[in-house]
Amino acid sequence: MGKRSIEERILEEGSFLLDVLRKTEGKPFDPVFILSRSVSNIICSVIFGSRFDYDDERLLTIIHFINDNFQIMSSPWGEEKQDPLSHFNMDTLLMTTHNLLFGGTETVGTTLRHAFLILMKYPKVQARVQEEIDCVVGRSRMPTLEDRASMPYTDAVIHEVQRFADVIPMNLPHRVIRDTPFRGFLIPKGTDVITLLNTVHYDSDQFKTPQEFNPEHFLDANQSFKKSPAFMPFSAGRRLCLGEPLARMELFIYLTSILQNFTLHPLVEPEDIDLTPLSSGLGNLPRPFQLCMRIR
């Protein structure tokens, strides 16, 4: 499945999400379940070949399992499932399906919730992103990936949300395959190593104001987007997250489509919004909140 067909699935699901958001009619709502249903549907369309209605009990069951960190069960398929010598077997199928659904739903949905909080706390940032969307995309069509290169400020904001929110502060374990000297220490072969990505994202040598949300971290003197070697929400190296291209597409299309159509309003004063995570462990979860999305 090529990037183009995946983008089409994201655009399709994004349009369903916008319809659901319009039905809130500007009233307060909790975005957790709405975002989970939409984002998980993209993964479902990739895995199963079709999307689910938002009220479909199968989709709701999947989301509840994901949110509760349970392993997902799925119907078997494929002719190799009973072959003990095959790399394709039921255990592999179930674990792969679980990893795709869990990783592809929780991380993107959580990042979007962080983005909502941040944009409501900094309404001038939200307004500038909307101005760039109006200038580049307009209101007559949905944003696409081709627009990203012409939207440096929006791209910088999304990158800064990922850096600042630091949704996955700890990398997944990697195993040392040979005795490895490192800064005066010897790491024996077979040692599991977990790197702390947040030490890079909050490094003052890499980012001017690491404790603050600042899109300028990803903009040069000409206000063009600039990459940072210290940006690694998807890890780094040969074993980085396989879902990075999909997640980047989802974050850009979803956030720009929402801000193209709505303005995010908090139920408290912007200065009273707390951006510190509810909990920090494997992931940094935003504090529960409600918001209003008012049609522009």
Bind-site residues for heme: 241
Count of Cβ atoms closer than 10 Å to residue 185 Cβ: 7
**Feature table: binding site:** 241
Question: Is the separation of the CB atoms in 117 and 286 below 8 Å?
Answer: yes
Q: How many residues does the chain have?
A: 296
Distance of alpha carbon 203 from alpha carbon 212, whole angstroms: 12
Question: Is the separation of the CB atoms in 116 and 291 below 8 Å?
Answer: yes
On the 0-12 / 13-18 / 19+ scale of CB atoms within 10 A, 94 is middle
Distance of alpha carbon 126 from alpha carbon 118, whole angstroms: 9
Residue with tokens 């009619």: 25
List of residues 6+ apart from 86 with CB closer than 8 A = 80
